[in-house]
Structure 1
């Protein structure tokens, strides 16, 4: 389906999106036969984060992004996708979400580079939206800057979302960071101490953690990563992030971290959808092979 065809359907038959969601074949369990979870992430554009490596607007071409996502979702071992409503609805219309884990991105209000970036409001999916559409999980970003009072609003909203997801028995993946500003730009602290603290805070959100998963970055040192993951018994997936050109190094760090007891899989976006050699299938297959 072309961009023109998608736009035509949206303009003339907007009800087709809900109908496609209702027809979608859902998988019975979040984790399939492999015992692992492999999710491709594409929720970056809604936060104004369009760059990949040195390409400033790599993710701005929507049809190109959809083609890459469709290719990734077609590869063996890929369980599903994480994205915002606009992207997931396009994928529904394209008919590629049957038997896939569909994970909705919930808070995208902390726009990249904005003065209000830490006031990361829930401008995406709400728990009731995910339940209504029959989707399988949600994801929220939780960045905490001890010097920015807006972080408290994000913490409170995040706790409320975790509770509301648990009421509907829907898994919610919390991606926690301790953050700070460097020359006006927000930076996530990936030191073992910071990641440990962020995990501890995220694990205690809301009145129950029964449906909470963690989505955590991989530290450079495998020994550090092992100690970091001792902070919680919650199931976790590894955040892929940008490899900054060192794909082999990133794969090796993921492979070692996947051996830790609470780690259940990978959620990777830009590094698989926009690899340096532009071979999406090969990048996805390599990541799946690590599982």
Structure 2
């Protein structure tokens, strides 16, 4: 075993869909005695271009836990078991056609130690301060990867969340911080994926995202204009409530875009419906791929490999 590296846990592509086993005790041992092993693993990681020859991206997302968003459907703490999450991620990353992962530092550090990120696109999650259900949820501070962290670790891109509530002054703080993050990423020639929403609170104070065609159009227009350069900006957008509206919505910007998955619930019917919505939107000229997390890592039938393979097939 190479000093400070956890081995024997990552399954290679072409396996039979079995989840690899993660040795938590060994991860903790390395973190305790050799914390420098994380930087060393990042330095030796074999890299690849953001896009391969087909010009498409299939990214698995796992940055939800850092915002306290651990639920999948009715399972409120589905993502709380870290070993289970890492095993699902390693399996997803081993499937043919999966380009990479989006996650926070704690998860990416584990995946580096597990050797699961070679020849993968690695995207650091930048703002996780808007905790799910908090009164300050829309004052979404940049508490994750900084642009300098992404550059230092040799990662390939960053992602940030931009939720705008016209009635919440905290949105302005997030908007300004987002613009500066776009500037800092562009200065380093690093792609940044901006995930915009028009958001509103209901009568009970619960925050929700407006997925109407008008709201998604406005969010795309606002996100596209942030910062002093859009050269390295990508969009990460939801499919509208009515998928037939997506062609008109995506005419709002010439920035390349990927579709996000979101929580589609626990039912097989919901999974099938989501695939069909993605299939149609992926035909649009600005849409270059998918960034999907919970619906692939925690599918209704429990078959992570099959869910991932189906999503890859849509590309």
Contact 2:101–2:120 (CA<8 Å) still a contact in 1? yes
Corresponding residue of 1:68:
88
Corresponding residue of 1:181:
201
In structure 1, stretches of 5+ residues that fail to align are none
CA distance in 1, matches of 2:91, 2:138: 34
Corresponding residue of 1:55:
75
Residues 94-149 of structure 1: CA deviation (Å, up to 9, x unaligned): 00100100000000000000000000000000000000000000000000000000
CA distance in 2, matches of 1:110, 1:200: 22
- Within the alignment, does 1:265 sit opposite 2:289 as a pair? yes
* Within-5 A mapping of 1:2-151: 2-27=23-48, 29-151=49-171
Residues 46-74 of structure 1: CA deviation (Å, up to 9, x unaligned): 00000001111000000000000000000
TM-score, with structure 1 as normaliser? 0.99
CA distance in 2, matches of 1:158, 1:4: 38
| CA displacement at 1:34 relative to structure 2 | 2.7
Partner of 1:72, secondary structure, is helix
- Within the alignment, does 1:251 sit opposite 2:271 as a pair? no
Corresponding residue of 2:302:
278
Partner of 2:199, secondary structure, is strand
CA distance in 2, matches of 1:69, 1:249: 23
| CA displacement at 1:35 relative to structure 2 | 2.0
CA distance in 2, matches of 1:55, 1:190: 23
CA distance in 1, matches of 2:273, 2:44: 41
| CA displacement at 1:243 relative to structure 2 | 1.7
Corresponding residue of 1:199:
220
In structure 2, stretches of 5+ residues that fail to align are 1-21
Structure 1 stretches of 4+ with a deviation exceeding 3 A read: none
Question: Alignment RMSD, CA only?
Answer: 0.7
- Within the alignment, does 1:232 sit opposite 2:256 as a pair? no
CA distance in 2, matches of 1:72, 1:65: 10
Contact 1:220–1:253 (CA<8 Å) still a contact in 2? no
Corresponding residue of 1:165:
185
CA distance in 2, matches of 1:91, 1:9: 13
CA distance in 2, matches of 1:219, 1:146: 20
Contact 1:173–1:214 (CA<8 Å) still a contact in 2? yes
Contact 1:130–1:136 (CA<8 Å) still a contact in 2? yes
CA distance in 2, matches of 1:161, 1:239: 21
| CA displacement at 1:222 relative to structure 2 | 3.2
Q: How many residues align?
A: 290
CA distance in 2, matches of 1:273, 1:80: 14
Partner of 1:38, secondary structure, is strand
| CA displacement at 1:33 relative to structure 2 | 2.3
